[in-house]
Amino acid sequence: MRVTYIDDKQLTLNGNEVELNQAVKLSGALRGGFAQSEVKREHDYIVVATFPSIDTSVCDMQVLKLAELSEKYPQFDYASFSVDLPTALQNYADGHKVGDIQLYSDYFDHSTLNGFGVLINELKISARAMFVLDKDNKVVYKQINDQVKAQVDFDSLENKMKELI
């Protein structure tokens, strides 16, 4: 049984943790609309963030830091997945700097979050994580937080991104 924590409360993660070199299908509803679609790709690598809810301070900082990275490293694609409604993601984007991040909602069937193995069973929200996928959507980097309220290690992520350039 795989677990994560919110404070001291232990929660279980659905399914299996995605392995390095495993392909993941990236699909959901892009901010502002409810149509399900696959993530648009232009570059060899995509950085993917998952988080519980866009309107919390830790999630907000995760997106803002990723937006900064999207400006610093334009040779990557960027996407995020949560179970926030697409309209909530659009409202967030209207009032915040999101850089080149494609904000996706996985509210409909949780297929992407389940593919990564980051859906929290008890709450049906995402654990906090960061991934880098290659042109075939195979995982080349993963960071899944044990503590949902803790921020991801952006230094580790950025070091991996530098290696891939």
C-alpha 66/C-alpha 158 separation (Å) is: 10
| Catalytic-role residue among 47, 59, 118, 148 | 59
Query: What pLDDT was estimated at residue 94?
Result: 98
Number of structural domains found in the chain: 1
Instruction: Decide: 36 and 29 in contact? Cβ < 8 Å.
Output: yes
Query: Whole-model pTM?
Result: 0.97
pLDDT at 138 over 90: yes
Over residues 99-119, the pLDDT tens digits come to 999 999 999 999 999 999 999
Average pLDDT, rounded, for the chain: 98
Both tokens assigned to 136? 């075939």
* pLDDT above 70: percentage of residues in the chain: 100
Query: What pLDDT was estimated at residue 1?
Result: 82
Over residues 35-82, the pLDDT tens digits come to 999 999 999 999 999 999 999 999 999 999 999 999 999 999 999 999
C-alpha 117/C-alpha 71 separation (Å) is: 28
- Strands, E assignment, the chain: 3-6, 9-12, 27-30, 36-38, 46-50, 77-82, 101-105, 119-120, 125-126, 129-133, 139-144
Q: For residue 67, what are the domain limits?
A: 3-164
pLDDT at 163 over 90: yes
Q: What is the CATH number of the domain that holds 16?
A: 3.40.30.10
pLDDT at 15 over 90: no
20 an active-site residue? no
What's phi and psi for 118, nearest 5 deg? -120, 10
